[in-house]
Amino acid sequence: MNKKWILFALLFCSLPLLAWGPKGHRIIAQVAYDHMTPRATKYVDAILGQHGLVYWAAWPDEIRSDTIYPDRYDWHYQDMPANLSDSAVWALWMSDLNADGRMSKAVGDLQEELGKQRSNRDALIFLAHIMGDMFCPMHMAHVEDKGGNLVAMTWFGQPTNLHRVWDENLIESRGFSYTEFATMLTDTYGAETKDILNESWQDVVLGTYHMTSDIYTYQQHFDGNTYHYIWHWKTPLERQLYRAGIWLARVLNEMYR
């Protein structure tokens, strides 16, 4: 078989369709845990165990090959066409007719489930996970390239794709444990917490969509220098992870008053 086709087959067959990766989700959950009220922490720990919010953060990805929740595969993403207006992005997010992911419906449904039964363990875990996915640019990416999975890249000389770069490569390149990363985010961006808490759901959706658009624009001129890629996206990546953690804490604090 032609080497080019072998490479393409390997890339296509390994499409992860995951968001942030296990470490990214644990970073977000740790930031949230550190910013939850004592009352919310008590409720969540009673359901998931102490620090369970962090320990279970990646579980919805881990079970995607299982038959426990076969209908939740497309809860993790909401791919959209490029170059939409803000009003079109929000209208698509709010619509139940979008066939390219059900993230928006999942978030609403999970909040509704927990409103009826606050001790619903699986719903709590899924809500924490999917809310993290909302802030992952490649889970609000372009339909035609399967959320960046078909955008080939090299990472320090090794073949990969745009989706995986944002799932894991960028986070792993920092060399932090998830606890170190979460602490660094709070130390660095803690002054922005008040502004983040004043954001609306629409601000979150449009913020992720705009960041995704910036990534695709940068991609058109990317020269393959991995070090430059890491440096260029360092701050936007960190801010997005921190915003995700603060938003998760906000939702859980409101839910478990």
CA distance 202 to 221: 30
pLDDT at 8: 39
Range of the domain at 22: 3-255
Q: What is the pLDDT of residues 187-229, one digit of tens each?
A: 999 999 999 999 999 999 999 999 999 999 999 999 999 999 9
pLDDT number for residue 129: 95
Picking from 12, 136, 211, the residue whose alpha carbon sits closest to that of residue 219 is 211
pLDDT in tens, 58-73: 999 888 777 788 778 7
Count the domains in the chain: 1
pLDDT in tens, 127-151: 999 999 999 999 888 888 988 999 9
Give CA–CA dist 163/142, Å, rounded.
11
Predicted local distance difference test score (pLDDT) of residue 61: 87
pLDDT of residue 7: 42
Of 101, 105, 107, 103, nearest in space to 124 by CA: 107
Tell me which residue has tokens 């991995």: 226
**Averaged confidence pLDDT in the chain:** 90
CATH number, domain with residue 239 = 1.10.575.10
Residue 194 has which token pair? 């008040």
What would the pLDDT profile of 68-112 be if each residue is shown by its tens digit? 887 787 888 888 889 999 999 999 888 865 667 788 888 889 999
Number of Cβ atoms within 10 Å of the Cβ of 154: 12
Q: In this structure, what are the phi and psi dihedrals at residue 152, rounded to the nearest 5 degrees? A: -70, 140
Alpha carbons 185 and 73: distance in angstroms, whole number: 30
CA quadruple 71, 75, 79, 84: dihedral sign:
positive
Q: Calculate ∠ Cα 143-145-148, nearest 5°.
A: 105
* pLDDT of 96: 66
The DSSP element (H or E) to which 175 belongs, if any, is: none
* Nearest alpha-carbon partner for 132 in 197, 79, 61: 61
Whether residue 11 has pLDDT greater than 70: no
- C-alpha distances (whole Å) from 130 to each of 98, 157, 174 are 17, 32, 24
The residue among 178 and 16 whose pLDDT is bigger is 178
